[in-house]
Each structure stands twice: as C-alpha cells, then as structure tokens.
Amino acid sequence: MNASKYNATVVQKILIRPNLMILRVTTDEPRSQFAAGQYTTLGLYGYEPRSENSEPEAIPSKPDKLIQRAYSIASARHETQQFEFYISQVKTGQLTPRLFHLEVGDRLFVGRRIVGAFNLSDAPKDKDVVMIATGTGITPYISFLRSHIVERPESKMVVVQAAAHQGDLGYFSELSFLDNAFPNFFYIPTLTDAGDLWPGYRMWIEEMLEAGVVGQESGVACDPDQTHFYLCGNPIMVENVSRWLIEHGYQKKTRKTEGTLFVEEF
C-alpha cells in the first residue's frame, strides 16, 4: 500500500487509560516555530489496522484515503521537530482507533502547517490567566506552560481541570510539580465522580466559580480588567462557563471583537 505521504515516526506512546494516550512523534523535517496553543493535523491511511478495543466504524473508511484530523500540540513552542499530542480514542471513529494501534517506530502523517488563534500572546504579561479544561482540552495549556511560565513571573497562572475520575486527569503529575515549583502557578483539579481517597474538590466547574474557589485558592480576581480566562474542552462546559463569565462582565474574543474570554471547543 502507498505510504508516501507519511513523514513522521512514533518515538513514544504512553497509555494513560485504555482510551487516553500521550503520543510523541518526530517529523522527518522540522517545522517553523509555532505559537503555544496551536494545532496541526495527524493522518493515517484507511488500510491501517485499528486498536483491539475499538468498535466498528460508524462511517467506513476507504483504504486508499489518508484520514486526517486536527490535534492541539502539547509541546513547547521551540520544539519544532518532536511533537506531543494528548489523544482520546473515539471507538467508532475513523482515525483515533488507528492512532491507538501505533507503536514506537511506526510511521504516520503530520501536517506541515501549524495554525490556530488560541494562544497566550493575547494576555499581557502583567495580567493574570485562568485556564479551564475538561478532557483533552488540557493540551494547549500544557504548551502554554512549557513555553511561557518562566517568562511571566508577575502573572498568576491558574489551571482548573475537571474530570470524572483521577485517572482521567491527564498531566496531573506535571501540573502538580509546577504548582510546587512556581509561586505564581496554581493547579486546581476537581472530580465529579471521585473515589473515597481523593482529597481535592468534588465540584462542577460552574459550582467552583460560583463559590469563589479560584479566588480563594490563588488570589486571582474574576475581573476582566485583571484576569483573562481561557476555556477548552467539552462544548457544554464551554457554553455554561462562558455564560457565567459573560454575566460577570467578560466579553468573548473573536476575530472582530476584543475580549478577555478565549474559547476553544473540542
């Protein structure tokens, strides 16, 4: 089968859960330096095998078609040849079951263009930043932090991450380390279906905002003149939290309007 479009190699695969993984790949040629928070495409042909725990495709793939999807990059912006992705398997999907079947040394396609307007440069270095995520929506924030946390010592940076179970909190160890290492960084995880041993919050993100948890934990004000909010993840979460923030004076940033609320839906 033709694999002439493949231009990258898997160098590491870490299964967080059976349907969650970190995939690191090296491209044959380096890309240009990108902005933290941007994304590129991954691709595999339809003839590639699917993971053992996948299900039949909802829409059958054509064997000779290169299946491509966009994924946010977790790597720091200066990593222009080795890229990291945090991926959730859609069992009936076309691409993710094939990505989950990959092993170290296997080949795949990585897009040559890195694009996207969801980045930290819109938040001045003297402003505080709250980054709210569910699921793989944590990915662009990992790139934010790896790229910029050292450059923003006067800016408080907060990550609020929600999941059902502790095992679903991707990058928990790295974010906990940053919380201990940087006095201006605060990590606030919350679980909606926590086990008995979980010592942290057991709240929905909307409940945390209403109760003032972010301010209590970090000292960051929910004030559009002082704090920029970033939302990434489940569309329902994004919609509900956006509504709450808009009711508290925030305006969503778009191509045509300035604002201090930035949204990326997964």
Q: Is residue 2 part of a domain?
A: no
244-257: burial string, b at 16+ Cβ within 10 Å, e else: ebeeeebebbeeee
* CA atoms of 67 and 94, how far apart (whole Å): 7
Q: What is the mean pLDDT of the chain?
A: 95
Position 83 scores a pLDDT of 98
* CA atoms of 7 and 16, how far apart (whole Å): 26
- Pair 92, 145 in one domain: no
- Pair 225, 124 in one domain: yes
What would the mean pLDDT of 28-55 be, rounded to a whole number?
Answer: 96
Give per-residue pLDDT as tens, 70-122: 999 999 999 999 999 999 999 999 999 999 999 999 999 999 999 999 999 88
* CA atoms of 96 and 84, how far apart (whole Å): 15
160-197: burial string, b at 16+ Cβ within 10 Å, e else: bbbbeeeebbbbbeebeebbeebeebbbbbbbbebeee
Q: Is residue 92 part of a domain?
A: yes
The number of distinct structural domains making up the chain is: 2
What would the mean pLDDT of 35-54 be, rounded to a whole number?
Answer: 97
- Domain boundaries, position 58: 8-110
- Pair 36, 91 in one domain: yes
Q: With 90 as the cut, is the pLDDT of residue 237 above it?
A: yes
In the chain, the percentage of residues whose pLDDT exceeds 70 is 98
Position 2 scores a pLDDT of 65
Six-digit token pair at 221?
Answer: 């004000």
Position 255 scores a pLDDT of 83
**Domain end among 110, 139, 167:** 110
Q: With 60 as the cut, is the pLDDT of residue 1 above it?
A: no
- Pair 102, 142 in one domain: no
* Burial of 2 from C-beta contacts in 10 A (0-12 / 13-18 / 19+): exposed
Position 164 scores a pLDDT of 94
Q: Is residue 104 part of a domain?
A: yes
* CATH code for the domain in which residue 174 is found: 3.40.50.80
- Pair 168, 235 in one domain: yes
- Pair 204, 88 in one domain: no
Name 38's Cβ contacts closer than 8 Å, sequence gap at least 6: 72, 73, 114, 115, 116, 118, 119, 140, 143
29-63: burial string, b at 16+ Cβ within 10 Å, e else: eebeebbbbbbbbbbbbbebebbeebeeeeeebee
- Pair 99, 35 in one domain: yes
Position 236 scores a pLDDT of 95
* CATH code for the domain in which residue 29 is found: 2.40.30.10
**Domain end among 89, 110, 131:** 110
Q: Is residue 3 part of a domain?
A: no
The reported pTM is 0.95
What would the mean pLDDT of 131-152 be, rounded to a whole number?
Answer: 97
* Burial of 152 from C-beta contacts in 10 A (0-12 / 13-18 / 19+): buried
- Pair 62, 143 in one domain: no
